[in-house]
Amino acid sequence: MWEKSPVHIDLLVTDMVMPKGVTGTALAKTLVNKDPRLRAIITSGYTSEMTQEDEPLVPGGRFLSKPYDPLTLLRTVKLSLHEKNRLSAAEAALSEA
């Protein structure tokens, strides 16, 4: 699906636990390696699955604990996309210098 998309994908929202032994973190890392501009939101109802490190699960990633309300999801999406746009603008400014 990723390779066949006719449009650029800016944000991945995935659950930590997925079928067939794949984790949301593994999926996000694979896709971020293909496109470092991608931002990821990984959700889970199991906080024990979240790493204890201060770093995000993937570069540009955020963790969203379940349950969450629609406003919390909206804020997290907005923050993730704002961060992506801020970094893109900084990269463009550096390339013009």
Q: What is the pLDDT of residues 7-24, one digit of tens each?
A: 889 999 999 888 888 888
For residue 58, tell me if it sits in a domain. yes
For residue 2, tell me if it sits in a domain. no
pTM for the model stands at 0.77
For residue 32, tell me if it sits in a domain. yes
How many contiguous H segments (helices) and E segments (strands) does the chain have?
A: 2, 3
For residue 5, tell me if it sits in a domain. no
For residue 52, tell me if it sits in a domain. yes
Distance CA 33, CA 46 (A): 26
DSSP track, 28-66:
HHHHHHH-TT-EEEEEES-GGGS-SSSS-SSTTEEEEES
For residue 77, tell me if it sits in a domain. yes
For residue 6, tell me if it sits in a domain. no
Expressed as residue numbers, the domain containing 62 is: 11-96
CATH at residue 57: 3.40.50.2300
For residue 57, tell me if it sits in a domain. yes
Q: What is the pLDDT of residues 74-96, one digit of tens each?
A: 999 999 998 766 666 556 555 66
Count of the separate structural domains present in the chain: 1
Going across the sheet that includes 39-44, the strands are: 11-15, 39-44, 61-65
Beta bridge partners of 42: 14, 63
What pLDDT, on a 0 to 100 scale, did the predictor assign at position 52?
45
